Amino acid sequence: MKSMFRYSLIAVWMMAASCLGDLDVKPTNIKDQTVAFNSVDDVNAGVLGAYASLNGQSIKISSLIADENMMPLENTTNAGATVFRWQHNESTPDVLPVWQSNYQAIDRANRILAVIDGVPAEAHEVEQRNQMKGELLALRAYCHLELLRNYAVSYDGNDDGVPVMTTSQVSQPGRSKVSAVFAQIRKDLADAKLLIPANWASSTRITRLAVFAIEARTALYQQDWTAAIAAADEVIGAVPLATEQQFPGIWTDLATHEVIWKLKREPSDERFGAFYRSSAGMVLYAPSFKLLAAFDAAHDVRFSSWIADLDAAPASTRWTVTKYTGNSANLNLTDIKLFRVSEMYLIRAEAQARKTGANIAAANTDLETLRTSRIDNYVHSSYGTAAQVLAAVEAERFRELAFEGHRYYDLRRWKKDIVRLPQDIVSVGGNVLTLPVTKKQYFMPIPFEEMQANRNIGQHPLYQ
């Protein structure tokens, strides 16, 4: 694919089986979208096709660049090694999938949004049609946020962001300012909230609560602390944290506790867990020793739910990520969790500490609530200053959101260097432990394919 905008006009675009799991919808013939949607059922099939573009690629990027993983010597595949070694550039294959998949989803959404209001609907179908329009707007917002997190020059409003696309067209757009991207995201989310019924529930599609969750994350990156708190409030008020007993079941898909939105995966889909450990048992990327040391392994349910010791020996150093392992019947196949309510607690705690007139007590309460649900017999020692709260939030995000596509982007928005431990670079060699914010590999470049196809897209200044 030479450009993110080179798509033929089609109705149901390469619909993945993952998005058909709980609905009896089959792919239809390829058509121009102006004639493809003759019913609400047709629209539903198209919406599923838009969801099908999403694949969790930001999780891989975060795991490769940041300090939550290490590449053991047994990884002889070299998959992702260029990014892990901080040697990537615009031609590195790993920098393309986030760009490609998110703009593909946006394009698919835009094609449906262009015609959806004219699709015939019976009286009892109007609400469903409106709901799906809201889903598409929210999906477009989410994808623009993912693109911004990865490819913006920075998250500051006046810097160059990514192209904003609200129509499907063959074009060569330049970058929009970060502030303009945020404005479009917030507009799409506001419109989506008016269209999606509050009582509609689904863990595999965007509900009204999921819209609030996307809004909370967006406001966090935008540093709109008041909006972040308000949106997080909505989700926290409706979705309880999982108990210690319920928590392990989330990761084998036996339970959906505290999950707000996830990507449904079926046996025909990519087995996401294979990014960390192959089906043959080779550990490709393991939890970093820096991350292992951050947990109270004996008492924290997150450690036992996400991380395993393969040697089971006292001096073992062979660890593996089990967050996406699933079960033996479908090894390495689990749904990809995009939003959980625990993230909302951490967003709210950070926003409370950063806002004018910081509410340190409220931030302490959120941290205590989250940790109590994860750690046996946890006793909270209150933090007295905003700086102490923010340090605690950073530590808790490192633990709670590990392997979910946050660590790299958190360090970027905090403008902090990425620092690894010596034992986490054994496969790299040398002594390069720090990726400073001034080095170009700290940022994701616009992929070479897009630079070749679009003369108006500007590369990140450090890659020029």
Q: What is the DSSP string of 160-214?
A: B-----SS-------PPBHHHHHHHHHHHHHHHHHHS-TT---SSS--HHHHHHH
Q: How far, in whole angstroms, is CA 394 from its chain's centroid?
A: 18
Contact 80, 285 (CB under 8 A): yes
pLDDT at 172 over 60: yes
Domains of the chain, start order: 17-254+337-451 (1.25.40.390)
Q: How far apart, in Å, are the Cα atoms of 336 and each of 77, 154, 286, 351?
A: 24, 27, 18, 26
Angle between helices 407-414 and 126-151 (to 10 degrees): 60
Q: What does pTM read for this prediction?
A: 0.92
> Residue 13 above 50 pLDDT?
no
| pLDDT at residue number 315 | 63
311-322 confidence digits (pLDDT tens): 866 666 789 999
pLDDT of residue 5: 39
Q: How far is CA 144 from CA 27, 164, 418, 422, in A?
A: 26, 7, 25, 36
Euclidean distance between CA atoms 70 and 285, whole angstroms: 6
pLDDT of residue 150: 98
Q: CA 307, 312, 314 angle in degrees (round to 5)? A: 110
Beta bridge pairs of residue 321: 307
User: Across the chain, what does the average pLDDT equal?
Assistant: 91
CA 258, CA 432: separation in Å to the nearest integer? 39
Tokens 């989310």 locate to 189
**What single-letter amino acid sits at 148?**
L
pLDDT of residue 23: 28
Give 244-313 as a DSSP string.
TTTHHHHTTTS--TTEEEEE---TTS--GGGGTB-TTS-BSSEE-HHHHHHS-TTTBHHHHHHEEESS--
Type of residue found at 395: A
> Based on the number of CB atoms within 10 Å of its own CB, is 52 exposed (0-12), middle (13-18) or buried (19 or more)?
buried
Percent of the chain with pLDDT over 70: 91
Contact status, residue 325 vs residue 332, Cβ threshold 8 Å? yes
Separation in Å, CA 145 to CA 99, 111, 158, 175, 270 = 11, 19, 16, 14, 23
Nearest to 183 by CA among 219, 143, 134: 219
For 56-67, the pLDDT digits (tens) are 999 999 999 999
Per residue in 421-431, pLDDT (tens digit) is 999 999 988 88
- Residue 11 or residue 130, greater confidence: 130
Report DSSP state, residue 32.
Answer: -
Q: Mark out the alpha helices in 318-455 (DSSP H runs).
A: 341-354, 360-374, 386-400, 407-414, 448-453
Q: What is the pLDDT of residues 40-51, one digit of tens each?
A: 999 999 999 999
Residue 337 pairs in a beta bridge with 262
